[in-house]
Amino acid sequence: MINLEGKRALVTGGSRGIGKAIVLKLCALGCNVVFTYASNEEAALLTENESGNKAKGIKADAGSFEDAKTSFDFAISHLGGLDILVNNAGITRDNLIMRMNEEEFDSVITANLKSVFNYSKLAVSPMMSQRKGSIINITSVVGITGNAGQSNYAASKAGVAGFTKSLAKEVASRNITVNAIAPGFISTDMTGKLKENQKEVLMSLIPLKKFGEPEYIADAVAFLASDSAKYITGQILSVDGGMTM
């Protein structure tokens, strides 16, 4: 069984959906966690309560380096150090390229890709000093396959994959692992807005014939953060029901 007792983790975008599942999973396995959230304080408080008060939320715009620095410093102070970073924060602003405006493109790149740079840059220093650490980035199958109407999102998530592999090579000599998880279609607020005919089309692409649950991603995060994965780095793990095989 995976044991993360006493480990210290920072999760970006941890108040809802996949991020919340990750926070609660890490806490259940013994971690103390700080998570960021963009605006929904009520959801953040609910996550704190459900964690048994092992998690603490802090409001931050993950795409802003200034906000990232403030929240990162809080996490280090609150936790007393850092062993695990999970870069999960992200948004969508879907549109066909003919209709997509500059703000829709830039905001997605900033929230989904620059945020990974922000927190990874901050985390590398203390992890290098202690000569250990695990960074886990949440990308997407859309970054692998592409998807009409999501050129901004696909570009950001493909960027996360490339960033993951490059950073893994930079910090491997300091015993820091860097991996990414590419979720498929997961049952969240986002997929809950899909129409039934849209769900049927998506389901036809998934060999296991079902959407995933946020907990499936959390399980993969827990594995990659554990000693069971200490010889795994620079990898993109698809958790997608076989969609991209």
Q: Which residues are catalytic?
A: 153
Angle between helices 17-28 and 41-50 (to 10 degrees): 30
**CA pair distance 142, 185, nearest whole angstrom:** 10
The identity of residue 181, as a single letter, is I
Indicate the SS3 state at residue 181: strand
The greatest distance separating any two alpha carbons of the chain, rounded to the nearest whole angstrom, comes to: 52
Q: Enter the DSSP assignment of 83.
A: S
User: Contact at 8 Å (CB) between 68 and 62?
Assistant: yes
For 146, left (φ over 0), alpha (ψ -120 to 50), or beta? Answer: left
Q: Exposed, middle or buried by CB within 10 Å (0-12, 13-18, 19+), for 56?
A: middle
